């Protein structure tokens, strides 16, 4: 059995009363003494602080000094516009495989002389191998083990972080910033996984405890565990890799076509030329057989991952399945996401879920379940 890794903030989690669980090879806090429900609501109303140091941080540098060369190389693996990504901005994207499925979803940013990637913890090893096998000779890969990653999320996140530097105020959604704070360099992106405004902050391991404790001294900030992180992202309609998306699901099926740049689509100036492009470009033009949707049961019983979906109360052929589900504390009702055959995906379509041998009525709804509050430029 592989050794469970502890993040640099492990002892702080213990001191804060965290319940620790194994997750993606790491020992992570699932909740604190406040409890999942209150942690969720606090993040929506004030500021939640998350340890996300289990995620992979990767730098790709050009050996010849030409960033556009490695951007072009990476575009063969990710169907977004990386070549023209502005300096100090990031984009959401995903690695695709030969069959048009999703190997992992990730963030990539242009840092001037290098590209910076943040990938999911559970896919980190696979992603690194994929990059090493497929990037060109000009690409130098550096996997960062000496930096932690925390997320500061919620409507008061800007106020809290701008106490360290007023440069924070000028950042918009998906902007990045490198800045000296308290004598060490932090890398900040205005992004997150909750649907709220907020920041992800990469910090040297030796400085992360002091910095995190400083943030937690603010009365608006509470530590938040994986439990509330999951309910927050579900309300925001955001995919969890290995559940809502995987190596079989395509971007079109997952409702992620918005992330595929026009330049990479049919008739774009850099059309295709990425793994799985034949299937993906065909589905963008002609649609897919299944589609990810929001689902709300008419009763209070939550429909969780794996629940089969049917067109009526008697039919024996499933038309889909639930991939994520639970109670949404903000919307105060049970919510789910899942895949349905496209002909049943119209909003307000009535469907049925089979829960413990009984058919429960549900309705297809649009995503997200709650308003997204990212700070966008005017």
- Secondary-structure breakdown of the chain: helix, strand, coil percentages, each rounded to the nearest 5: 25, 35, 45
Distances (CA, A) of 11 to 24, 52, 74, 225, 315: 19, 15, 37, 15, 53
Confidence label for 219 from pLDDT (cuts 50, 70 and 90): very high
- Mean pLDDT to the nearest integer, 330-334: 97
Last residue of a domain, one of 245, 274, 301: 245
Domain check: are 174 and 303 in the same one?
no
CATH number at residue 122: 3.30.1360.120
pLDDT, residue 3, reads: 85
Residue pair 13/29 in contact by the 8 Å Cβ criterion: yes
Q: What is the pLDDT of residues 20-50, one digit of tens each?
A: 999 999 999 999 999 999 999 999 999 999 9
* Residue 4 maps to a domain: yes
Whether 378 has a pLDDT exceeding 70, the answer reads no
Domain check: are 202 and 321 in the same one?
no
Domain check: are 241 and 294 in the same one?
no
* Residue 298 maps to a domain: yes
Domain check: are 138 and 217 in the same one?
yes
Residue pair 353/359 in contact by the 8 Å Cβ criterion: yes
* Residue 273 maps to a domain: no
Domain check: are 97 and 3 in the same one?
yes
Last residue of a domain, one of 245, 276, 299: 245
Domain check: are 84 and 209 in the same one?
yes
Whether 1 has a pLDDT exceeding 60, the answer reads no
Whether 376 has a pLDDT exceeding 70, the answer reads yes
* Residue 65 maps to a domain: yes
Length of the chain in terms of residues written? 378
The bridge status of strand 90-96 relative to strand 147-153 is unpaired
The CA-CA-CA angle for residues 130, 133, 135, to 5°, reads 90
- Mean pLDDT to the nearest integer, 164-191: 96
Whether 2 has a pLDDT exceeding 90, the answer reads no
CATH number at residue 322: 2.40.30.110
Domain check: are 173 and 321 in the same one?
no
Q: By residue range, what is the domain housing residue 37?
A: 1-245
pLDDT, residue 112, reads: 96
* Residue 86 maps to a domain: yes
Model-wide pTM > 0.75: yes
């Amino acid at each position: 059995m592989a050794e469970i890794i502890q993040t640099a903030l492990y002892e702080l989690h213990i001191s804060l009363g965290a319940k620790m669980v194994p997750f993606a090879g790491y020992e992570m806090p699932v909740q604190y003494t406040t409890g999942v429900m209150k942690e969720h609501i606090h993040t929506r109303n004030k500021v939640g602080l998350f340890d996300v140091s289990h995620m992979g941080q990767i730098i790709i540098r050009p050996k010849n000094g030409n960033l556009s060369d490695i951007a072009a190389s990476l575009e063969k693996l990710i169907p977004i516009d990386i070549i023209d990504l502005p300096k100090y901005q990031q984009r959401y994207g995903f690695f695709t495989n030969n069959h048009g499925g999703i190997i992992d979803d990730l963030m990539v940013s242009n840092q001037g002389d290098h590209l910076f990637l943040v990938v999911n913890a559970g896919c980190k090893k696979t992603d690194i191998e994929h990059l090493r096998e497929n990037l060109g000779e000009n690409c130098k890969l550096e996997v960062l083990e000496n930096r932690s990653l925390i997320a500061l999320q919620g409507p008061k996140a800007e106020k809290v972080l701008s106490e360290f530097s007023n440069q924070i105020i000028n950042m918009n959604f998906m902007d990045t910033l490198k800045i000296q704070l308290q004598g060490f360099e932090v890398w900040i992106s205005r992004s997150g996984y909750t649907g709220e405004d907020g920041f992800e902050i990469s910090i040297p391991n030796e400085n992360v405890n002091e910095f995190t404790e400083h943030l937690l001294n603010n009365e608006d900030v509470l530590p938040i565990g994986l439990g509330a992180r999951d309910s927050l992202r579900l309300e925001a309609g955001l995919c969890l890799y290995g559940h809502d998306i995987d190596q079989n699901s395509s971007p079109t099926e997952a409702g992620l076509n918005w992330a595929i740049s026009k330049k990479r689509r049919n008739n774009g100036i850099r059309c295709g030329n990425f793994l799985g492009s034949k299937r993906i470009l065909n589905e963008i033009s002609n649609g897919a057989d299944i589609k990810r949707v929001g689902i709300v049961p008419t009763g209070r019983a939550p429909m969780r991952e794996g629940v089969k979906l049917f067109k009526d109360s008697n039919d024996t052929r499933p038309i889909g399945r639930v991939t994520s589900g639970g109670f949404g504390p903000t919307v105060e009702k049970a919510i789910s996401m899942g895949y349905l055959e496209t002909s049943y995906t119209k909003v307000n379509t009535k469907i049925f879920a089979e829960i413990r041998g009984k058919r429960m009525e549900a309705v297809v709804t649009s995503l997200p379940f709650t308003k997204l509050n990212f700070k966008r430029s005017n």
